[in-house]
Structures are given as structure tokens and as C-alpha cells.
Amino acid sequence: MYAVRMENITKRFGSVAANDGVCFAALPGEIHCLLGENGAGKSTLMRILFGLYRADSGSIYVNDRPAQIAGPRDAISLGIGMVHQHFMLAERLTVAENIVAGCEPRRRGLLDRECARRRIREVSERYGLAVDPDAVVEDISVGQQQRVEIVKALMRGARTLILDEPTAVLTPPEVDELFTVMRALRESGTAIVFITHKLKETMEISDRVTVLRDGKTIGTVCTADATPDSLVEMMVGRSLPVHDDERTPPRQAVLLELRDVSVAGRKGGRARLSGVSLAVRSGEVLGIAGVDGNGQLELEEVVTGLRRPGKGKIALTGQDVTGLDTGGIRDRGVAYIPSDRLKRGMVDSFSLARNSVLGTHRCADFSRRGLLLENAVREHARSIVAEYDVRAESIDQPMGSLSGGNQQKMLVGRELARPHSVVVAAQPTRGLDVGATHYIREQILASRNRGKAVLLISAELDEVLELSDRIAVIYEGRIVDVRPASQFTERELGLLMTGQRNEV
Amino acid sequence: MGLRGDVSRFAYSAIAVLLALVIGAVLIGTSGYSVKEAYSNLLMGAFGGVYSLATTVVMSTPLLFTGLAVALAFQCGLFNVGAEGQLYVGALASAVVALALSGLPPAFRVIIALTAGAGAGAALGFLPGYLKAKIGAHEVVTTIMLNYIAISLTTFLVKTYFRDPGPVDQTVLLPPGSRLPELVPGTRVSLGIVIGILAVALLDRVMRRSVLGYEIQAVGQNPHAAEYGGVNVAARTVQAMMISGAVAGLAGSVESMGTLYRFIPYFSPGYGFTGIAVAVIAGKSMWAVIPAAFLFGALQSGGQSMQLFAGIPMELMTMVQGLVILFVAAPALGSMLLKSRSRLSEKGGGRA
């Protein structure tokens, strides 16, 4: 008996088929990964199951009985729960109030808080989902908010739980906790649909995997019979070549140097960066490993001139650039892939063409006597689109209309096309699918192989390990260790990143 | 915005005007007036004959400038509510300079006096721009405050230093050589409207083709990305406010030099504020300021003749104008205010 079964589901948005005859089935007591690249149709399929979209055709069975799901209300009454990527919580209310909203236990017309608390405790103890019913949602961490969403779904009797990219917002320790909870739920017979595009997580947690590509089901396999390579091939339709590792050996010239750089915290709080000294040489990638929020953003901003260091010196190719603004620093040869591409990296209402010269628009190539050289700008945009395989209809469409992966390719293309000797790449593949991630990592390595100095700041440990020649570990604003990448084990890095230096 | 966007926006505006007129008809009817008489007077007053058309053009001219001024500030994400005050200082500066230079040849007088008006407006625009760039003071608040200051200051200056020795608080009449030449003899249609259209053409080009326009728009759309791209956000903010102020100052110049031929305290029926409506209806396009200004000019001049010949209070026409603004502009204005609010709170909230 299947917990849920979806047959020949088709859903069109305009002329695009987001789901095209998709079949999917999940068993009770299994963790079923729904794997595919961004835009493959995973979320659409699950939104149909949860009643947020109506399928154009196809049928749904719950516990082998045909089901009509016209809205989330129907889905919930059939025992289907969904935790969205963006949580649907009222920030000012307490955890308990959020969880019972919509089905409040009442006593004499008033909310029975004691009863609500008791029921929440029951659920949270049964599955190891520690939540504090009296905490206000805006005060708790993202990981805890996610747990609140899960408890909410379970309290409404979910026997099938859909998790839409739940790990995207979590830190590595939080991911481990989530997986523990998922295993406990599996033991209790809940069917878990885990939407993801991360292979490592798929291999670690799932029992079976269904792969979608371009809105079609490619197949369902048992995880035990699959390898990461076989899954990639199913996802992208071809196997990805191993990164080409031919390269010039690192030369000695230090292109980027930080000496004793500190950044004060807000209102006398803990310093965001304290006494950071780093040197990045020509032809090497220096990776910064650390749990998000340990000073990576400040490091990124201080190096690129978005933030002035409180003390310390920054030098580019031996020249002191401390205190220069972004324009000044970037003109001295810094290509910069910002961690927040939507906020920093582009003007989403501008066309691709106009975005392609953001930061170089004052160069002689693109403007003369105060006027933009329209043809040169368009030519430049076209060459980036072609060279970096940006999937776009036209260079006149707004940047915001591209998918995240294509936006990032455009941005990386723009940055690597400008004259530079140093690359600052912050979270360069965050939120991207396997294909785009692979492509962008290749570009970063190619840049290194041409003798650039690359400072890679990434919260993905795998990425840091894969790309770096040397790794510096950052913890609470300090560099706690720097060594050649080969001299770290993953376990060591994990301990250093979480501040357990003495145990190494 | 592509051509299709412009067309649909035009259609949308036309429907809004029609809707406003229909509701206006209901209001006029229920107030006990004849709708037919009201609207025929409105139409005749706005477009019926040379004199009516001339009045419409005269009333559109300052709106063309103030509308352009507000639209320009929008491009940089700024809401310039100060066009009214900038118009007053521009009008006084032009009148005073035009009077003082009566020894020079007329062409020089006019050009220098216009420059003075633009300069005064720019100076008044500088202040809120600078305060915004340096300490984050919201321009809506500072420009509103400066409106009061500018209007009172110009009145004070006229009373104290530039007063015509007659019974009324006003400057002396400009001699013919200090005025903007009449375009259509016998009407008050002056060169001002031509200057206005040239200003639209010039600023449209600046916005779409120049590095300055690119940077101003980048700051308006996403100041964080502009900063990332090496744009001096503070400088562009100040410059955008100054250009906007200069254009609003010119609105005053063409009034004092081309229509009134002197400076009169409290002369403006709110051209600076109607300019906001003009800019919102025009949207992102500079060129669209021209028809938008003309629409409000027509409603104004038609409304006057409605009051004069049909005895229908001007207030009813003002309500129709308000309805037009409501239907066309409310969604656009709402989303813009939300945007500027979220920008503000981002600034205040710091990083999480």
C-alpha cells in the first residue's frame, strides 16, 4: 500500500509544462527523495499534492483510494503535511500559538493554552523535536522555526510529510538534527518526501529516490543501488567530467594580503573580525571554512571595500588599499562574486546588457564622454551569455527574470571578464543546481590556473575542500588555523569550525 | 518598459480618466447640476477654440516642469515632495535677476534669469539630498518642511526687499525685454512650453544613455548593487535631488517670466503637488510626462470655465482630478512608497 501515489500528473504554466505526465509514489515509513535540478518540477509536483495547485490532468491516490485535493484543507484532512522552504509562521506569536492556529483547543470560547502546550509536548517528545512552546517565533533560530513547522504538520495528523528543500536554510549541525528527526518519523511509519538537489544528503538519508528532469519522471531507484554519479547522470542527462586539474604551480607573488584586520561589532558587541591576517598568492585558491555568521560577510565586505576595517591593513599586489571605497578597490583589479547576489550583485530590473557592465560602466570600453556606448555594452553582454552558457531569451530581458543559476553565471561571467588579478568568490554556488554549481566551480579553478589569486568564502565544506589549495578556518571572527588543504581531515575542520580547537 | 508596456499603460490611463469622468458625472448630477452643461463647458474650456487651448497650454507648462522634476527624482528612488518650494525660490530668483539685469540685451537677460531660477531650485534640492545621503533623513519629511520655509521666505523677501511700491505685496512688473517671448501673440503661451519639451528630451537622453543616468537609476533600483558596482551612492543621490530641484525651479521661472511677468507671493495653486500626480501617471517614461501634464492642464482650464459659465464649483473638478490620480496612480504610488519604506527600514535595521 502506498501512502500517496500520483499518476500521469501534468501541469502547465502558459506554454511551459512544469510537470509532464509525472508519476510518483511514496510508501509509509520511508524517506523518499525527490531529486532534480532547479526548475525540474519538484516543488510544483508537491504543491499539487498539497492542494496549492490544481493539476491539469492526472490522478492522486491516498492510501490507495482516489483523492480529490482542491486545497490545503483537503490535503491536511487526508493526512498530508508540508513544510515550505519559506516558513509560514506569524513572527510575533509564540510557538504554541503558531502551532495551534487554525485548530485551537478551546475552553469556554478562549484558547486553552495548557491543553495546547500539553499536546505540543507529546508530539515533540515522541519524535525528539525539542521546541519551547512559550518562545516567540522571531526570537528563535531558523532551525527551530523549521521544527515548529514540522510539529505543526504532525499535530494536524500528517502521515505523509513533504519537506521542501529543508536543508537549504540550515547549518551543518542543524542538518544532522533534522535527519535524526526524520529517522524517528520514519520509524513511526510516516512517509517523508524530501525535496532536494543535493546529492550528498540524498545518499545519506533517503531510502528511495525519484529523479525529475525538465518536468518528467526519469525514474525511481533504491538509494542502496545508486551512486552519486548515477544520480547526477539521471538529473542532468549526462555525466559531469571531473574538474580539470592541470595548473601552473603556485607562484610566490602575494596578490592579496590582510594584516591584523579587525571589524568592530555593533554597539560595543563582540568584534566581527579580530586580528585577521591572510595572504593569497598568485595561482592559488585560499578557502575560508566556517559556519555561517562567523565573520565571513565582514571579511568579504572588508576586502572589497564595502566596509572599512576598524584597524589593520589590506594590500593588493603590494599596494596599500586600506580605506579605499568599492570603486577604488575594484579598479585595482578585484573581481567580486558577492554572497548575496540579489542584493549586491545585480540590479534585477535592469536588462542583462546593463547588468553586464555594472562596475565597469565607467571604463573606456563602455563609455565615452559621459555617454554609454550602447553597442559595446550589448556586444559585451552577448559574449558573456555565449561564453558562460547563460540561458536567456534576449539580452534585453530584465536580470530578475532569469533563474538563479543563470543569474549567477551572468554575474560570474561579468566579474571574470573584467581586468583582475584577485577573485573574491563568496558563496559562489549557494542555491544553485548541480549543473550550474559544477560550471561555476570550473570557472573559478580556470581563473586560478591563469595565475589569479582566489579568496573563496563558502559555507559549504565540500566546496572549500574541493577547490582550495589552502584552507583557513574562521570561528567567531578569528582565523583559528591555516594549512594546505591536504593536511586537514573533514573531521578536524568540523571541530575547528565549531570552536572545539582543543580536541583536535 | 517596452512599447507594449507603454501602450497598455496609455490604455490604462485612458480608462482611468474615463472612469473618473463617469464618477464625476454622478457627483455633479447628485449635487443638482446639469451634467451635460458641466461637461460641455469642461470640454469647451479645455479645447474649444484658440483661447481655451492656449489656457490649457499655459496651465500645463508649469506642470510639465514639476512633473518632470518629480519623475527624475523617482528615477533615483527619491520622492521629491518639495517641488512646490523649489518652484517658489526659482520664480523669485528669476524675477529678481530679470529685473536687475535690465541693462543687458534681452536674450542674455532671459538666459541668465532662467539659470538663476534653476540654480535656486537646485540649491533648495541640494539640502534634502545631502541630508538623505549623509544622515539618512527621509527626503519626504525634509522636502515638506522646506516647502513651508521656501514659501514663507520668498514672501518675506518680497515684502522686505523687492516690493512694488503699490498696495499689493509683489515685485514690480518685468519690462518686456526681461520676459519669455510670447509664442502665440495675444495669448500667454510663451517659450516656456518649448523649454519644457526640450528639457524632457534632454533628460530622457541623459537617463537612458549617459553614465550619470545609469548610475542614478542603479541607485534608485538597488542602492546596494550600485555601491557594489563602485557607484558613489551619496553623490548620485545629491545630484538627482539637485537636478530635480533645478527643473522644479524652472517651473517657477517660466511662471514669473512667461505668465505673471512678476513674482507674486502664494501664486501657485499647488503646481508642485500636482506635479507628483503627473509624474506618477507618467511612470518610468520621461516622455509620458508631456501628455500627463497636458491632461491635468486641460482639467484645470476646463474646470475653470465650468465654474465660470455653468456656475459649478471648481471643487467638483478638483475631485475629478483627484479621482484620476486615485485610479491611475494609487497602485503605482502605493508600491513605490512601500519600496522606499523597506529601503528605510533596511537602513535602520542594520544587518541581522
For chain A positions 338-357, those within 8 Å of chain B (CB to CB) are: 338, 343-350, 354
A293, closest residue in chain B (CA to CA): B352
Listed residue (A357, A356, A453, A447) closest to A406, CA to CA: A356
Q: What is the pLDDT of residue B344?
A: 44
In a mutational test of the A interface, the residue from B204, B207, B214, B221 whose CB has the highest number of chain A CBs within 10 Å is: B214
What CA–CA distances, in Å, run from A308 to A38, A263, A299? 37, 8, 10
- Residue numbers in B near A344 (CB within 8 A): 224-225, 227-228
Q: Is A418 on the interface with B (CB under 8 A)?
A: no
- Nearest C-alpha in A relative to B212: A370
Contact A235, A227 (CB under 8 A): no
Instruction: Count how many Cα atoms sit within 13 Å of the Cα of residue A365 in the half-sphere of its side chain.
Output: 15
A137 vs B216, higher pLDDT: B216
Interface test with A, best of B228, B231, B233, B336 (most A CBs within 10 A): B228
- Dump pLDDT digits (tens) for B271-328: 999 999 899 888 888 999 999 999 999 988 998 888 888 888 888 878 888 888 788 7
Chain A residues close to B5, C-beta within 8 Å? none
Those of residues 127-146 in A touching chain B at CB distance below 8 A are: none
Please name which of A39, A437, A83 lies closest in space to residue A212, comparing C-alpha atoms.
A39
Provide, as residue numbers in chain A, all residues whose Cβ is less than 8 Å from the Cβ of B230: 325-328, 330-331, 359, 362
Q: Is the pLDDT reported for residue B342 higher than 60?
A: no
Spatial separation of the C-alpha atoms in residues B59 and B71, rounded to whole Å: 19
Report d(CA A53, CA B7) in Å as an integer: 32
Q: Which residues of A touch B215 (CB under 8 A)?
A: 361
Chain A residues within 8 A of B226 when measuring between CB atoms: 347
Q: With H, G, I as helix, E, B as strand and everything else as coil, classify residue A23.
A: strand
Query: Contact A408/A352 with Cβ under 8 angstroms?
Result: no
CA distance A18 to A42: 9
Q: Do B231 and A297 touch (CB under 8 A)?
A: no
β pairing state of A191-196 and A31-35? parallel
Closest by CA to A83, choosing from A146, A125, A29, is A146
pLDDT for the residue numbered A502: 52
More confident residue, A231 or B345: A231
Q: What is d(CA A82, CA A442) in angstroms, rounded to the nearest whole number?
A: 36
| Residue B339 banded pLDDT, cuts 50, 70, 90 | low
- For residue A175, the model assigns a pLDDT of 85
Q: Does A91 touch chain B (CB under 8 A)?
A: no
Q: Phi first, then psi: give them for residue B195, nearest 5 degrees.
A: -60, -40
Tell me the shortest Cα–Cα distance from A320 to chain B, in angstroms: 18
pLDDT score for A251: 55
Q: Which residues of A touch B227 (CB under 8 A)?
A: 306, 326, 344
What integer pLDDT is reported at residue B251 of this predicted model?
A: 97
- Our count of domains for chain B comes to 1
Name, in order, each residue with C-beta under 8 angstroms of B311's C-beta and a sequence gap of 6 or more. B33
Q: What is the C-alpha end-to-end distance of chain A, expressed in Å? A: 49
Q: What is the pLDDT of residue A171?
A: 72
Query: Edge to edge, what strands does the sheet with A470-475 contain?
Result: A334-337, A422-426, A453-458, A284-289, A470-475, A478-484
Q: B225–A358: do the CB atoms touch at under 8 Å?
A: yes
Contact A306 B227 (CB under 8 A): yes
Arithmetic mean of pLDDT over chain B = 88
Q: Nearest CB to A372: which of B214, B221, B229? A: B214
Chain A residues lying within 8 Å of B231, measured CB to CB = 327
Assign residue A10 a region: left if phi > 0, alpha if psi is -120 to 50, beta otherwise? Answer: beta
Of B214, B215, B228, the CB nearest to A344: B228
Residue of B nearest to A359 (CA): B229
Residues from chain A contacting residue B232 (CB–CB below 8 Å): 325, 327
What is the tens place of the pLDDT at every residue in B258-267?
Answer: 999 999 999 9
Distance from CA of B226 to the nearest CA of A (A): 8
The dihedral sign for the CA sequence A374, A376, A377, A383: positive
Given an 8 Å threshold on Cβ–Cβ distance, is B230 in contact with A330?
A: yes
Q: Is A278 helix (H, G, I), strand (E, B) or coil?
A: strand
β pairing state of A311-316 and A254-263: antiparallel
Gap from A489 CA to chain B (nearest CA, Å): 32
Separation in Å, CA of B201 to nearest CA in chain A: 15
Residue A447 amino acid letter: S
Could you write out the DSSP letters of every residue in B7-41? HHHHHHHHHHHHHHHHHHHHHHHHTT--HHHHHHH
Quick one: B167 exposed, middle or buried, by C-beta within 10 A (0-12, 13-18, 19+)? exposed
- Does A374 touch chain B if contact means CB atoms closer than 8 Å? yes
Check CB contact under 8 Å for A331 and B350: no
The residue written with cell numbers 509562521 in the block is A89
Tell me which residues of chain A have a pLDDT lower than 50.
246, 503-504
* A359–B229 C-beta distance less than 8 A: yes
- Domain hosting B78: range is 2-351
**Is the pLDDT confidence value at B3 over 60?**
no
> Which chain A residues in 279-298 lie under 8 Å from chain B, judged by CB atoms?
297
Does B230 contact A348 at a Cβ distance shorter than 8 Å?
A: no
Angle formed by the axes of helices B50-75 and B233-258, nearest 10°: 170
| Per-residue pLDDT reduced to its tens digit, B181-215 | 999 888 889 999 999 999 999 999 999 999 999 99
| CB distance B263 to B154 below 8 Å | yes
In angstroms, rounded to a whole number, what is the distance separating the alpha carbons of residues A54 and A181?
31
Which residue from B221, B232, B351 is facing A349, i.e. has the nearest CB?
A: B221
Kindly tell me if the per-residue pLDDT of B94 is higher than 80. yes
- Say yes or no for a CB contact (<8 Å) between A372 and B222: no
pLDDT of residue B290: 96
Residue B350 is predicted with a pLDDT of: 34
> Are residues A347 and B226, on separate chains, in Cβ contact within 8 Å?
yes
Cite the DSSP H helix spans in chain B: 3-30, 35-47, 50-75, 83-100, 106-135, 139-160, 192-209, 211-221, 223-228, 233-258, 271-282, 289-310, 314-324, 330-349
For A269, which DSSP code? Answer: -
pLDDT tens across A395-449, in order?
999 998 888 889 999 999 999 999 999 999 999 998 788 888 888 999 999 999 9
Mutation to test the B interface, candidates A347, A362, A410, most B Cβ within 10 Å:
A347
CB pair distance less than 8 Å for A354 and B214: yes
Which residue of chain B comes nearest to A349, CA vs CA? B221
pLDDT of residue B329: 66
Shortest CA gap A434–chain B (Å): 26
Query: Can you give the CATH number for the domain in which B229 is found?
Result: 1.10.3470
The Cα of A358 is separated from the nearest Cα of chain B by a number of Å equal to 5
Give the per-residue pLDDT at B280: 86
Show residues of chain B in contact with A398, CB under 8 Å: none
Nearest to A358 among B210, B229, B350 (CB): B229
Give the residue on A whose Cα is nearest the Cα of B351: A266
With contacts defined as CB-CB under 8 Å, which chain B residues touch A330?
Answer: 230
- Distance (Å) from the alpha carbon of B214 to chain A's nearest alpha carbon: 8
Residue B173: CB partners within 8 Å, gap ≥ 6? B164, B261, B262
> How open is the CA angle A452-A444-A366, to the nearest 5 degrees?
75
Cβ-Cβ contacts under 8 Å, B211 against chain A: 361-362, 367, 370-372
Q: What is the arithmetic mean of pLDDT over B333-346? A: 52
Judge contact between B65 and B243, C-beta under 8 A.
no
Look at B221 and A343 and tell me if their CB atoms are within 8 Å.
Answer: no
Which residues in chain A have Cβ-Cβ distances shorter than 8 Å to B228? 304, 306, 326, 336, 338, 344-345, 358-359
Residues B228-259 have pLDDT tens digits of 999 999 999 999 999 999 999 999 999 999 99
Interface of B with A in 193-232 (CB under 8 A): 209-212, 214-215, 217-218, 221-222, 224-232
CB contact under 8 A, A347 and B222: yes
